[in-house]
């Protein structure tokens, strides 16, 4: 997917169209442009072609060789007559419009754009303590911003899994290298078993309360969302995905105050 702001592309197209109109007003079609005008026109064309490249419009770029030396100091400009430039500008414009007709463009909604390409969507503390979750946090936001709400929940559950494994390590569930091969249910059960072995005096009552609450929250995520999205049991709409995101963000922010990867 190509991301770009449409303003620059529209501005470049408008400037090219304005250049066309200016050339149409000139009478002698077999003479080249004066040097200063040629330099200015070359800049307009160059900006337009750069925007076409950024937007993935190929037809205008296929014609760049014909205008390669146009407006370049020290180069012979005699071949770049007004008539030739008029034809080339028309071809550039029509090529861009043809490509645009064959492309599908997506516009981010103003209400969700703030979620797009945000690795720190869950806050700086979560990014700091759970840096390995940055990819899925960013993708969850991207999917939400582009209306892929079930995919958003999928990535959110992957974010939660980073927290689940970190909690397992924190309470010293044995054999950390096997965590990847365990189901959520198995790992949560192991966590609860290890928490049960902790003594309040050695661990502190607040720590035990924190661990127990975290384990219960992971079981809630598992039964409420993770199993459903992983096993194709349901799809999610915008409101549902946002609820999951807000809930998980608050939980990961709380988890990051005591646990890190």
Mean pLDDT of the 30-53 span: 93
> How confident is residue 239, by pLDDT bands cut at 50, 70 and 90?
very high
For residues 10 and 45, state if they share a domain: yes
Mean pLDDT of the 215-237 span: 87
Answer whether residue 177 is part of any domain.
yes
CA distance 191 to 193: 5
Domain boundary among 101, 121, 154: 101
Could you give the percent of the chain with pLDDT greater than 90?
A: 66
Answer whether residue 43 is part of any domain.
yes
Looking at per-residue confidence, does 6 or 253 come out higher? 253
Output the pLDDT for position 207. Answer: 83
For residues 47 and 70, state if they share a domain: yes
> How confident is residue 228, by pLDDT bands cut at 50, 70 and 90?
confident
For residues 84 and 129, state if they share a domain: no
Answer whether residue 108 is part of any domain.
no
Answer whether residue 38 is part of any domain.
yes
Domain residues for the domain of 61 are 6-101
For residues 65 and 179, state if they share a domain: no
Asked if residue 17 lies in contact with residue 94, where contact means CB atoms within 8 angstroms, the answer is: no
**Which string of b and e fits 242-259 if b means at least 16 CB within 10 Å?**
bebbebbbebbebbbeeb
Instruction: Kindly report, residue by residue over 69-121, the tens digit of the pLDDT.
Output: 999 988 899 999 999 999 999 999 999 999 999 988 888 999 999 999 998 99
For residues 147 and 217, state if they share a domain: yes
For residues 76 and 128, state if they share a domain: no
Answer whether residue 29 is part of any domain.
yes
Looking at per-residue confidence, does 253 or 2 come out higher? 253
* Residue 170 Cα to chain centre, angstroms: 32
Structure tokens at 239: 């409101």
For residues 94 and 120, state if they share a domain: no
CA distance 176 to 194: 13
Instruction: Kindly report, residue by residue over 121-166, the tens digit of the pLDDT.
Output: 999 999 999 999 999 999 999 999 999 999 999 999 999 999 999 9
Q: Tell me the whole-structure pTM to 2 decimals.
A: 0.79
Give the count of domains, the chain: 2
For residues 64 and 170, state if they share a domain: no
For residues 193 and 220, state if they share a domain: yes
> How confident is residue 203, by pLDDT bands cut at 50, 70 and 90?
low
Q: What value does the mean pLDDT of the chain take? A: 91
For residues 131 and 195, state if they share a domain: yes
Cα-based angle 44, 48, 49 (whole degrees, multiple of 5): 120
> Torsion angle, CA of 6/8/9/10, rounded to 10 degrees?
80
Domain boundary among 53, 81, 101: 101
Residue 196 has pLDDT above 80, yes or no: yes
For residues 219 and 125, state if they share a domain: yes
For residues 83 and 140, state if they share a domain: no
């Amino acid at each position: 997917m190509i991301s770009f702001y449409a303003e620059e592309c529209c501005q470049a197209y408008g400037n090219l169209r304005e250049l066309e109109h200016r050339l149409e007003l000139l009478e002698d079609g077999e003479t080249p442009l004066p040097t200063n005008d040629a330099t200015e026109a070359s800049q307009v064309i160059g900006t337009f072609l750069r925007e076409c490249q950024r937007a993935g419009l190929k037809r205008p770029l296929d014609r760049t060789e014909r205008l390669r030396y146009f407006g370049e100091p020290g180069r012979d400009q005699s071949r770049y007559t007004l008539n030739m430039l008029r034809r080339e500008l028309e071809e550039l414009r029509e090529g861009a419009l043809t490509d645009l007709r064959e492309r599908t463009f997506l516009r981010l909604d103003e209400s969700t754009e703030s979620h797009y390409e945000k690795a720190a969507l869950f806050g700086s503390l979560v990014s700091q303590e759970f840096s390995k979750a940055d990819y899925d946090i960013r993708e969850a936001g991207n999917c939400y911003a582009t209306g892929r709400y079930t995919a958003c929940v999928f990535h959110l559950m992957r974010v939660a899994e980073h927290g689940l494994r970190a909690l397992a390590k924190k309470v010293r569930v044995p054999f950390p290298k096997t965590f990847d091969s365990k189901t959520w249910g198995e790992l949560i059960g192991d966590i609860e078993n290890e928490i049960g072995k902790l003594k309040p005096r050695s661990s502190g009552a607040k720590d035990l309360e924190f661990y127990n609450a975290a384990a219960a929250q992971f079981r809630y995520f598992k039964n409420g969302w993770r199993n459903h999205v992983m096993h194709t049991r349901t799809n999610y709409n915008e409101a549902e995905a946002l609820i999951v995101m807000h809930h998980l963000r608050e939980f990961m922010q709380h988890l990051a105050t005591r646990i890190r990867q």
